[in-house]
Amino acid sequence: MARLVLLALLPLAGCAAFADGAAEGRRGNEALGAGDLEAAAAAFRDGIAATEASGDPAVRGALWNNLGLVLYQQGAVEDAAEAFDEALAQAADAGVRARYAYHAGTAHARAGALEEGAARLRRALVARPDLGKARFNYEWVRRRLDDPPGSAPPPPEPSDAARRLKARADALVAQRQYRDAYDLMNDGMARDSTVAAYAGYIQRLGDIVQIEERTLPSPPDSLR
């Protein structure tokens, strides 16, 4: 996984047409669509100010999210991460929360804050386990947290049996049978110590299994 999957613009969908901040949000989206990042950022900030006292949380969250997208495009990834966190704090719907958490996690990871990135990407997957780009980025971050350069001795060389076991687990993962793959690798480690060469892989499988086996609400149709 060489790169993080990047972010995508979210419109102010579902927001009341005359809600505080909505007009500024539409203006910001138009400016962003035209490539005028400065004007877009100013419009989104105006909208956020308009929602300060009693604004609709859905509008306020969308404004913070889209401001984050502008900042991300401008290369201010730390500021973007803070903006996405503000958006995430406003999200009540699980599907919207998943998107905002995905954006926040990706920005934090891009800024080098891997622990924060992993935590938010995990929130995205808890809210919506089928969000593939969040899963990709979560695994990207986990790999770097599990295997930082120079932090641990090299893993053992896997035996031929361990390699065959890993291939079987990969086949199960391709079929989304994460629990079976996780159990297979753990059982193999008890019989063959060189399976520890795949410790990071097993950890990521365990994280996915924990997310998959939670009882979660279904995402709204518009986000499928």
pLDDT for 96-143, tens place per residue? Answer: 999 999 999 999 999 989 999 999 999 999 999 888 888 888 988 988
Q: Which tokens hold the place of 180? A: 């079976």
Contacts of residue 166, defined as CB under 8 A and 6 or more positions apart, other chains included, come to 158, 185, 195, 198, 201
What per-residue confidence (pLDDT) applies to 190? 80
Which residue has tokens 């979560």? 138
What per-residue confidence (pLDDT) applies to 4? 47
pTM as predicted = 0.64
Number of helices and strands in the chain (H, E): 10, 0
**Measured between alpha carbons, how far is 187 from 165 in angstroms, rounded to an integer?**
10
